[in-house]
Structure 1
Amino acid sequence: MAAEESSPLTTHVLNTGDGVPGTRMALSLHRLDSNLMIWTMLSVGTTNEDGRCSALISREAFTPGMYKLRFETGAYWESLGQTCFYPYVEVVFTISDPDQRFHLPLLMSRFSYSTYRGS
């Protein structure tokens, strides 16, 4: 994974049902190869005790294009002894200005989720 200080893309997960961070959730970052129309995995990570994953990609590797963050929500809920409706969540987004910073939170419960673009 990229160095935390230089990563232009960060995320955090909040378990809104319990009001706690989504800790130890596996996730992966992908970029769409627009020529082949396939996703290429760029990095994998796990949220920390605060539900954050900060070092997703280096500034140099962050180029304009379409990306997705895949959150392994099913495994997270299973680790808590619970079931959920969504086994994973994929958030697809477009980067046109990679010089900006992007923060992409996932707010979730066992039966719903939402996200937004932070900075």
Structure 2
Amino acid sequence: MSLSTHVLDASIGRPAEGIAVRLESRDGVIDERRTDAEGRVGGWKPGRGVHRLVFETGHYFAGRGMETFYPEATVTFTVADPDAHYHVPLLLSPFAYTTYRGS
């Protein structure tokens, strides 16, 4: 089982580099990383159960000199198949975000 994410900043039409992304379970924080130049983080192996990805969007937009309505975006999801790859993309703008289960 592996987990990755990809963050795209719709306000500039580019990957969102440098966003802190925290992987959590019900027991607390598992790991925290930053998106790379392509807006990606990968290589997590969280195991079965309910998990959260918390994206520190407020710090990202503040660093770009922009206001944002959402200081963080939290995506809660369930890992059901320990042999599958889970990909959780985030499309981001200062006043909206959307996500889905990617491939």
Tell which deviates more after alignment, 105-114 or 7-16: 7-16
Aligned mate of 2:86, from 85, 95, 102: 102
CA distance in 2, matches of 1:94, 1:102: 10
Identity of aligned residues (%): 41
CA distance in 2, matches of 1:80, 1:113: 17
CA distance in 2, matches of 1:30, 1:9: 12
Asked if 1:14 is matched to 2:8, the reply is yes
Using the size of structure 2 for normalisation, the TM-score is: 0.95
CA distance in 2, matches of 1:15, 1:84: 12
Bigger Cα Rg:
1
Which structure is higher in strand share? Answer: 2
- Runs (4 or more) in structure 1 with deviation over 2 Å come to none
**How many equivalent pairs are there?**
103
CA distance in 2, matches of 1:65, 1:52: 23
* CA positional deviation for 1:80: 0.2
Q: Any gaps of 5 or more consecutive residues in structure 2? A: none
